Amino acid sequence: MELANRLTKITGGGSDGWDVFYRARRMIDAGVAVTELTIGEHDIRTNPDILKAMHQAAIGGHTVYAEVPGTAKLRAAVAARITQRTAVPTAAENILITPGGQAGLFAAHHAVCDQGDTALYIDPYYATYPGTIRSLGAVAKPIVTSPDTGFQPTKAAIEAAAPSAKSLLINSPNNPTGTVYSEQVLTGIAEACQTHDLWLISDEVYDTQVWEGTHISPRSLPGMAERTLVVGSMSKSHAMTGSRVGWVCGPADVIGHLITLATHTTYGVPGYIQDAATFALGQGTKPEEAVAAPFRRRRELTLQALADQNVIRAVPAQGAMYVMLDIRATGLSGEGFANALLDAEHIAVMPGESFGQGALGHVRVAMTIDDDSYVSALQKLVGFAKKQANLQ
Ligand code: PMP
């Protein structure tokens, strides 16, 4: 019996740099002490007050089917947050609550791409992007950016790819590069979308983690609210990765259709999770700042650990919980470096290859372990890189 291509072709096939991640996990299972700087999981857990709210909601009976679009309270809380942060008037009817940002990315592409349509995304990219697009039978087309321009996409590159496309997916603050798109870049993107009648899908799950510059939601730029679908999530902002709660924000008619999609797929998000998210958003920005603070601190520690050497260059991380390191001076590929570092120092980082063509010759370090262990791992990584460079 044959399976659908849409399913079996979700991943592109071939080596995609994830081998090192799975190898590290196997070493850990075998009892080796590996320092993992791989995936975007906080080293703190969801705040106990949020868990209490979740518990009370569940004990109180919110274990029945929840409203499919999201509870009225959570939709209103998300809409208020977006209005407050972006100054774009946003109402509950503009919000669909989804099981995490990932389901939001899937829904947003489902809204705008038919089978065979081309969906653009920026490379380096978050690992699931092309697969999410392919899972709809659409064609995933990367626009490759360069470390030389801080991984900011150019309007010219978008315009060159746009004529054949239906949508463009962007992500700022960016995973994996840490880039925060400048106003000039976002204005160029907005103009290209309007000229070429593209939908813009803006993944803003790291909007609370900005270390330099300002996060601008492109939905707030002139003429963009009607063609932008914003994907948001409680995962990164509130350390609620396992709760699976996020949203899509967009024009009310699009959200109306996406509610129909949710009715036929997820059938909503558990009510007690939504109540916990409503509680969390009701606490204002203080808890978000507390969740972001360790990454702000470790980003400074990264810059300090990399000062006074020139083998490794950090691509200036302006936001999010990662730093990209340019390791080309070692003569190794990202994958070669990550594999050799795992063997020599038992430190696991993600090779640039996992994030596309733009990140070749780089590795991504997740700043997701306690400060002392983090600094010590970085020092070992630098020492390792120096040795490799001397072998050249
Ligand atoms: N977008 C980006 C850029 C991410 O890094 C992630 C998770 N690592 C997601 C979306 C999905 O997050 P979630 O489904 O947990 O909201």
**pLDDT tens-digit readout, 14-45:** 567 788 999 999 999 999 999 999 988 999 99
Residues in contact with ligand 1 (CB, 6 Å cut-off): 40, 100-102, 126, 171, 175, 203, 205, 233, 235, 241, 246
Distance 126 CA to ligand 1 centre (A): 8
Q: Give the nearest ligand 1 atom to 101 CA.
A: 16
Helices (H), the chain: 5-8, 19-29, 48-59, 72-86, 100-112, 129-134, 155-161, 183-195, 252-264, 271-282, 286-306, 334-345, 371-390
The Å distance, Cα 163 to ligand 1 centre, comes to 28
Q: What is the pLDDT of residues 302-324, one digit of tens each?
A: 999 999 899 999 988 999 999 99
- Percent of the chain at pLDDT exceeding 90: 92
Ligand 1 atom closest to residue 102's alpha carbon, by position in its atom list: 14
Ligand 1 centroid–CA 246 distance in Å is 9
Within 10 Å of residue 264's Cβ, how many Cβ atoms? 8
Residue whose entry in the numeric block shows the structure tokens 């306690």: 370
- Dihedral sign, Cα of residue 299, residue 190, residue 260, residue 61: positive
Q: Which mutation among 41, 96, 102 tests ligand 1's pocket best, with the greatest number of atoms within 8 A of CB?
A: 102
Q: Provide the pLDDT confidence category of residue 11 given band limits of 50, 70 and 90.
A: confident
Give me Rg for the CA atoms of the chain. 21
Average pLDDT score over residue span 203-214 = 97
Q: Which amino acid is at 141?
A: K
Which residues, at least 6 apart from 390, have a Cβ–Cβ distance to it below 8 Å?
Answer: none
Return the percent helix, strand and coil in the chain, to nearest 5.
50, 15, 35
Structure token digits, residue 205: 């799950």
Cα 170 to Cα 340: distance, rounded to the nearest angstrom:
32
Least confident of 54-58, 210-214, 313-317: 313-317
Residue 231: pLDDT over 70:
yes
Give the Cα-Cα-Cα angle 38, 40, 43 (nearest 5 degrees): 95
- Tokens 């010590």 locate to 376
Edge to edge, what strands does the sheet with 95-98 contain? 95-98, 246-249, 228-233, 199-203, 165-171, 118-123, 139-144
Confidence of residue 88 (pLDDT cuts 50, 70, 90): very high
Pairing mode of beta strands 322-326, 362-366:
antiparallel
Residues 367 and 62: their CA atoms lie apart, in Å, by 36
Q: What is the DSSP letter of 265?
A: T
**Cis peptide preceding 294, ω within 30 of 0:** no
Contact between 304 and 314 (Cβ < 8 Å) = no
Task: Kindly give the distance from the C-alpha atom of residue 392 to the centroid of ligand 1, in angstroms, as a whole number.
Answer: 38
- For ligand 1, pick from 105, 205, 207, 368 the residue to mutate: most ligand atoms within 8 Å of CB: 205
CA of 104 to the centre of ligand 1 (A): 10
Ligand 1 atom closest to Cα of 171? 3
**Which amino acid belongs to residue 15?**
S
Asked whether the predicted pLDDT for residue 12 surpasses 80, the reply is no
Residue 101 Cα to ligand 1 midpoint, Å, equals 6
